[in-house]
Chain A
């Protein structure tokens, strides 16, 4: 079961910051500066967390993982945007 996670980070050093950004690009959508929305299975989550733990400095940086519930039972107003529109990533397939 995939769950929606909001992953935010505060990384003090440019190199680690870039690595953190790059790592999270592989797991979710870049919503705002230092904020990603990721739809992850439990397996994905431990994988992602293990990768981040390798990158960041455990005394200086911080990553927060906020669980927003399962993808399937997502309510329509889970995320509300003011300003630029926000679009939900769920669809049965990707058609380009």
Chain B
């Protein structure tokens, strides 16, 4: 009998406490629990923000609760202990040691009362109720740590109260009830209280929207349910494999992690293991919003100084305020050339997880600053394991190259004045050829050939007449190169179209790198592109199918819509560079393309290209973790 008490110090289990809040998530959806608690991913939604606002008052508590009156001594016989009249503990362990330490110096707490609540001035032993807010308690026997929003103590009787946003569940008889996740969470709080020596036989939920309290009695059935939830959650935690998504669940649209979890998309790709068997036009619920609500900033004026004031970025030149940008509207910051960003601003970006990308003035991409990366190490481990598997790399690379060539062909068919049937046929053949290729080296050859064919016909997609004769003023036009494209060249680009293409690819590399980092992948370890110092190989892999759809398409629309004209270029020796104004105009064209929506061929809903990059990258992570078998490369029709 004495053993469980004595063994307290020696047994010291290697508990990794599971927060009661996380077990709530587990009951809601095991996959949500995994993403949040195992992979460490979090995203805000309307509901989470509302929940935080509801919790503002209770979270401001001092976390202090008077220690339970009855302290069983460890060396006493259980019979001698003045046990409070409560049901016998199922796990039989009193955490009195912890009670004394966790209750914020229980001895001194008595005279240091919370002034905000006059009721706490009462004598300790009076029967009037005492409130304490924001108390953290743990239980070794349960392996659970719980944060109590509010505890109402009535003598030795303590009732935990949890604040919830929204309204209670309406039971069949019309009374207010609670959903299983909330019931389990409050039960865990009550069980942790019991384990710490308090008497507790019910918990309470407070619903902010209707200002209703719902009583949750702690009965055996609920205790059993809570224990099952703990075991289930621990099993998922230990196994480190992601549980499958809920099937067509009404919970998903309100879940803050839906855009990370991709429940219906994953379910669809799992259901039809082989992509070839997928019926194309079955729609998937569009749970995520079609567009990112926030937008990128490009700071390209040379000599700009960017600081932060409140939640606003201020861009100044020569001490004069040029523009104010609200931080909650920003999803990335790009610095081109000599632009200063203050440390305070940089710290805020890191805290808000806003990536900051650095380019040269001419648009050569240096890299991205963005904190220590996503905590999600599991997917990165899979990435490294898979990169050693040559068969896996080849399979993925084939799909990427095929997708890129197919998209090249589509772009030609859509935009070329008179697409040459020979080129189209050849591109189609190369795409098929790519799927049968037996090595990365031969894939490179196929890709190179297709690119040569494609760029040979690229000029047919330019629909502006920028001949030297038509430019006003012959003297000027000698210095202004026309949009005369005769094939791809770079380092340096030798004509305006190549200059735009190079800049567009640099921007796209940046966006793919940001997407890869966001998902938790290492952007420098690719599957098709091999390791080379400083080369973001995975970002380059990811961008292959998107080169025509985003970068080249943005170049075409910038030229064809005359957003960029020959006046926007300068010739320096062999190379051609964009002027500052030209760069700004092209950035607008590029971002317009990123913001344009497109129908996803597999899921049937419309999303912006920026969102699409993220979805495709998350699907790649699903492939790496083995949840799906084929990577669905994005191909437009």
Interface residues, chain A, with chain B CB atoms under 8 Å away = 1-2, 22, 25-28, 39, 41-44, 46-47, 50, 91-96
Contacts and interface: CB of A to CB of B under 8 A. Distances in A.
- Interface centre among A2, A41, A42, A92, by most chain B C-beta atoms within 10 angstroms, is A92
A94 B328 contact: no
A36 to B, nearest CB: 11
Contact of B312 (A25, A46, A96): A25
A50 B51 CA distance: 12
- Interface centre among A43, A44, A94, by most chain B C-beta atoms within 10 angstroms, is A94
A95 B312 contact: no
A91 B585 CA distance: 12
Contact of B46 (A25, A39, A43): A43
A46 B588 CA distance: 31
Given A22-B310, A27-B326, A93 B588 contact: yes
Given A1-B289, A27-B328, A93 B45 contact: no
B244 interface: no
A73 B245 CA distance: 34
A26 B311 contact: yes
B585 to A, nearest CB: 9
Interface of B (DSSP majority class): mixed
Contact of A91 (B299, B315, B322, B588): B588
A41 to B, nearest CB: 5
Contact of B49 (A47, A91, A93): A47
Contacts of B45: 43
Contacts of A96: 297-301, 304, 315, 322-323, 325
Contacts of A39: 329
Contacts of A41: 46, 293
Interface stretch (B19-27, B275-283, B353-361, B591-599): B591-599
Interface residues of B, number: 35
Contacts, number: 69
A93 B298 contact: yes
Contacts of A95: 297-298, 300, 584, 587-588
A50 B44 CA distance: 16
B50 interface: yes
B325 A94 contact: yes
Interface string B306-329: 000011100100000011011011
Nearest to A54: B56
Nearest to A89: B329
B296 interface: yes
B240 interface: no
Contact of A93 (B50, B293, B296, B323): B296
A81 to B, nearest CB: 20
21 contacts: A2-B293, A26-B311, A26-B328, A28-B326, A41-B293, A44-B328, A46-B49, A47-B49, A92-B592, A93-B295, A93-B296, A93-B297, A93-B588, A93-B591, A94-B295, A94-B330, A95-B297, A95-B300, A95-B587, A95-B588, A96-B299
Contacts of B298: 93-96
A9 to B, nearest CB: 18
Contacts of B44: 43
Contacts of A91: 295, 588
B15 interface: no
Contacts of A25: 310, 312
Nearest to B590: A93
A10 B82 CA distance: 62
Contacts of B476: none
A26 B326 CA distance: 6
Given A26-B328, A46-B49, A46-B50, A94 B310 contact: no
B384 to A, nearest CB: 34
B53 interface: yes
Contacts of A2: 293
Given A26-B311, A92-B595, A93-B298, 18 more contacts: A25-B312, A26-B328, A27-B328, A41-B293, A42-B46, A43-B44, A43-B45, A46-B46, A46-B49, A92-B591, A93-B295, A93-B297, A94-B295, A95-B588, A96-B297, A96-B301, A96-B304, A96-B315
A96 B50 CA distance: 34
Interface in B138-181: none
A26 B49 contact: no
Contact of B588 (A22, A42, A43, A92): A92
A93 B526 CA distance: 29
Interface in B490-507: none
A50 B298 CA distance: 31
A71 to B, nearest CB: 9
A94 B46 contact: no
A91 B323 CA distance: 14
Q: What are the 5 A-B residue pairs with the smallest beta carbon separation, nearest first?
A: A93-B591, A92-B591, A26-B311, A92-B595, A94-B297
Interface in B325-366: 325-326, 328-330
Contact of A46 (B53, B584, B591, B594): B53
A7 to B, nearest CB: 14
A91 B330 CA distance: 12
A96 B326 CA distance: 14
Contacts of B289: 1
Contacts of A92: 295, 588, 591-592, 594-595
Contacts of B326: 26-28
A23 to B, nearest CB: 9
Nearest to B316: A96
- Interface centre among A43, A46, A96, by most chain B C-beta atoms within 10 angstroms, is A96
B10 to A, nearest CB: 49
A39 B453 CA distance: 46
Nearest to B324: A25
Contacts of B587: 93, 95
B298 to A, nearest CB: 5
Contacts of A28: 326
B299 A50 contact: no
A52 to B, nearest CB: 12
B594 to A, nearest CB: 7
A47 B47 CA distance: 11
Contacts of A93: 295-298, 587-588, 591
A26 B310 contact: yes
A41 B294 CA distance: 10
A2 to B, nearest CB: 6
Contacts of B591: 92-93
Contacts of A46: 46, 49-50, 53
- Interface centre among B300, B323, B329, B587, by most chain A C-beta atoms within 10 angstroms, is B329
